Amino acid sequence: MIDSNNNPLIKVFVYGIDFAGKSSLMRLLSTGKFDFDYFPPTKKFRITNVKLDSGVKLICWDMPGQKIFRSDWLRGAQASNLLLFVLDCADAGRYSEAKEELWNMLNLYELKSIPLLFLVNKTDLADCDKNPKPIIEKFKLNELNRDWQIVFSSLPDRTGISELIEWMENQAENLLLINGIKTLENI
């Protein structure tokens, strides 16, 4: 959890079905840039480093969302500190598939207590319902027995990004305190 420069490291497992915007989100968090269609569909996991204002370094494992790659998700999720599930809210026709994959991972013993941020992405698109209640009900988020939060985002206009970063900062602080490493004020 500490790198060679004595900075805290947090592993974030980023997953969701294909075309949710996971790789675009990672690019935005690491570089501040967003371009439509910058990434082709991810064919292998990508590791993206993101440094938070507090000095905490996030090691984000961006997993491909196509069915053929989902069996490898557990390998990428091992030793994760945070889970980040990304949903394309404009593709309601695939909500059942996304829900199944969300819960397939959340039900694994290795991931039982890891905090989850459920990112409802692409709110800038017309087909997206921005009301959290139907999403919470459809995905049964109230049944989660872990720390979780839902955030609505639009990458082109950066909606929800500050909430996502704030959640990660708070979770990092909690992890550091629980593990007796140090507080963010001491970094």
The candidate with the shortest Cα–Cα distance to 119, out of 91, 145, 83, is 83
CA gap 51, 182 in Å, rounded: 17
Q: Is-contact 34 124, C-beta < 8 A?
A: no
- Quote the pTM value: 0.91
9-186 is a CATH 3.40.50.300 domain: yes
Domain boundaries, the chain: 9-186
Give me the pLDDT at residue 128, please: 87
The encoded tokens of residue 27 equal 């690019």
Give me the pLDDT at residue 22, please: 93
CA gap 21, 73 in Å, rounded: 17
Ramachandran category for residue 21: left, alpha or beta (phi over 0 → left; psi -120 to 50 → alpha): left
CB half-sphere exposure, 146, CA atoms < 13 A: 23
Q: What is the mean pLDDT of residues 8-24?
A: 92
- pLDDT tens for 143-174 read 999 999 999 999 999 999 999 999 999 999 88
Give me the pLDDT at residue 41, please: 64
pLDDT surpasses 70 at 37? no
Q: What is the mean pLDDT of residues 131-135?
A: 95
Q: What is the mean pLDDT of residues 2-12?
A: 77
pLDDT surpasses 70 at 185? no
Confidence band for 3, pLDDT divided at 50, 70 and 90: low
CA gap 95, 88 in Å, rounded: 9
Share of the chain above pLDDT 70, in %: 89
